[in-house]
Amino acid sequence: MSSVQGHWNYRAVSAPSTTTAPLSLKGNHVTTPQSLKTPGAPPTVSGKDAGKIARAAFVGTALEWYDYYLFGTAAALVFNRLFFTDLDPTAALLASFATFGVGFAARPIGAVLFGYIGDRYGRRPALLTTIVLIGVATALIGLLPDFEAIGLAAPILLAVLRLVQGLAVGGEWGGAVTMAVEHAPAEKRGRYAALVQIGSPVATLMASAAFTLVLLFPSETFDAWGWRIPFLLAIPMLLVALWIRLKVEESPIFKDLLAQEDTAKVPALEVFRHAGGRLFVAVLAALLGVGGFYMITTFAVSYGANTLGVDRNVMVNATLVAAVAQIIVTILMGRLAEKVGPGKVTMWGGILTAILAFPIFAMIDTKSPLLITLAITLGIMLIAVAYAVNGALLTELFPARLRYSGVALGYNIAGATSGFMPMIATAMLGVSGNASWGAAMILAIIALLTAVGGFLGERMRVQDKQIVADA
């Protein structure tokens, strides 16, 4: 086994029969020694096939995030009133956001579980399992009786279903971007990884549109059963997404690992032992894309509707406009990452977000529907600069035999941290006289941390043109 050279260098993990050499730094980049490269020619994947795989990953990811975002919107608008009715309004809202955060806390566990499946038995079976779990859990939330009907069992069951959602999402994103990148031509990895990221704004559009329609119902109808409709729509969407994913073939790079008998026995443990520095950088790089998003959407929707008294439709409609802008930014940043590197794009996304965090919340404080829409759209566009290239950056931080686990852990440890940010920001309202500076400060801090992650990540990327060669 090789020794670690330099604080951030990856300690190579190889098959027992392979003699390894340490990774070296050339210029600003980590390069892989010849002894670590996979023998033989790497799999050849056509652009057409890669596009098909990326689209399949996108469709499944869109469903996963649709289901996940529904919970975030419902936590801000309705769960506090229906599932925590024995608490005062502020405590009920905090409890609602705490339940929302439970899903994030479960995500690293899901990353370990599905990372184990994905790195040891295949990317495909892991991704089929995650999509079924989250679809079923979301539909069951739509059928769940409220506190008035079954008492304390209602919030407990809500938390359990949220936990299942979190476990599934913990394994979904890492697997989806891994599949997309491992099937992609080397020169087009940025755009195919970004295509998976478009699943997020598309899911936001679907979730926001669904809630916009049901919010047209009278308040009593919405509280009684209208809010359930978007959750129940997960059933037909699950069937479509599952049908598409069943047609997806296993990653050619994972097939090579199986042929060489070089799959990791306990991949998550190997990530922590041998790639801890890379994991830390992955967490930093992913922090803004997850935490920043929920500060601008989940918290801002709640802040506008519950604290400022802005009409709920204004807040939800603003996220619709922002999601359209996010799709455009994501496509452009995926292409830009192919030219300048995903780490640089991540770094500048973090810097710009930090600079504009306070002006964004100042615009929301005006209560003007136009300025609120502009603020949320600007915030999401800035966050999307870094988020668009997360898949491209994180997959190049880890070798193939640990890639699913490493990517999933990095992204979901960031997610676990981020899940409680709306709750923390809401709690800070109580000590700041309902001022938004606390939320703006949180957004600026995580943006700067992501800028650091982008800076370091660009210098730690495995620079092999064929990503299969870094196994």
The conformational region for residue 104 under phi > 0 = left, psi -120 to 50 = alpha, else beta, is: alpha
Weakest-pLDDT range from 81-90, 139-148, 440-449: 81-90
Instruction: Give the three-state DSSP class for 461.
Output: coil
Give the pLDDT confidence score for residue 49 in this predicted structure: 67
Angle value at C-alpha 358, between 450 and 433, nearest 5 degrees: 120
Task: Confirm whether 196 is domain-assigned.
Answer: yes
CATH number for 436: 1.20.1250.20
Give the distance between the most distant pair of CA atoms in the chain: 69
Residues 6+ apart with CB under 8 A from 123: 175, 178, 179, 182, 250, 251, 254, 404
CA–CA distance, 23 with 215 (Å, rounded to integer): 56
Q: Give the lowest-confidence range in 20-29, 190-199, 389-398, 400-409.
A: 20-29
List phi, psi (to 5°) of 26.
Answer: -120, 115
The Cβ-side half-sphere exposure at 301, using a 13 Å CA radius, reads 28
- Residue carrying structure tokens 């770094």: 347
Residue 179 lies in a domain: yes
pLDDT greater at residue 298 or residue 266 = 266
Residue 15 lies in a domain: no
Q: What pLDDT sits at residue 48?
A: 59
CB 330 within 8 A of CB 387: yes
pLDDT confidence of residue 21: 36
- The answer on pLDDT for 25 being more than 60 is no
**Is residue 5 assigned to a domain?**
no
State yes or no: pLDDT of 326 exceeds 90.
Answer: yes
In a domain, 237, yes or no: yes
pTM (two decimals): 0.81
Helices (H), 21-78: 47-77
pLDDT exceeds cutoff 90 at 20: no
| 402, part of any domain | yes
Residue 277 has pLDDT above 90, yes or no: yes
Mean pLDDT of 145-170: 90
Q: What is the pLDDT of residues 89-102, one digit of tens each?
A: 777 777 887 887 78
Q: Reply yes or no on whether the pLDDT at 3 is more than 70.
A: no
Which range has the worst mean pLDDT, 61-65, 138-142, 229-233, 303-307? 61-65
- For the segment 373-392, the average pLDDT, to the nearest whole number, is 95
Number of folded domains that form the chain: 1
Domain range enclosing 356: 37-470
Average pLDDT of the residues in 400-427:
89
Residue 439 has pLDDT above 80, yes or no: yes
The answer as to whether 444 is a domain residue is yes
Q: Is residue 114 part of a domain?
A: yes
